[in-house]
Amino acid sequence: MMPDVERLRKVWALVERGGSAGECAAARERARVIAERYGYVLDDIPVLLAGGDVYKAREIRERQQREREARRREAEQASARKAALKAHRQAL
């Protein structure tokens, strides 16, 4: 079952181009409620409105998240190795 795309499109337009911060926040919450009623999340709305494959988009977002997490872990490990090497050099 699909949400009412035209209604969702109108609400999402307020999210993207709303007048005040409160109006945008209220529209975002309304869009979230509409989307969740059908098993979607806020990140799915632009894909839904574009007529794209939501499940494919989710896979891509999840893969990108895993890649970002892997890069973050690698950077932390490199920083730890650099700090350990610096401490070793200072000890000498």
Q: Tell which residue, 51, 30, 53, 52, has the closest CA to residue 42.
A: 30
Q: Tell which residue, 51, 45, 55, has the closest CA to residue 11.
A: 45
Q: What is the pLDDT of residue 65?
A: 93
Reported as type and span, the H/E element at residue 7 is helix 5-17
Q: What is the pLDDT of residue 1?
A: 66
Give the DSSP per-residue string, 37-86: HTT--GGGHHHHHHT--HHHHHHHHHHHHHHHHHHHHHHHHHHHHHHHHH
Cα gap 15→70, rounded to integer Å: 32
- pTM value is 0.63
Q: What is the pLDDT of residue 2?
A: 73
Q: What is the pLDDT of residue 50?
A: 86
Q: What is the pLDDT of residue 11?
A: 92
Residues of the chain with pLDDT under 70: 1
Q: Where are the domains of the chain?
A: 1-52, 53-92
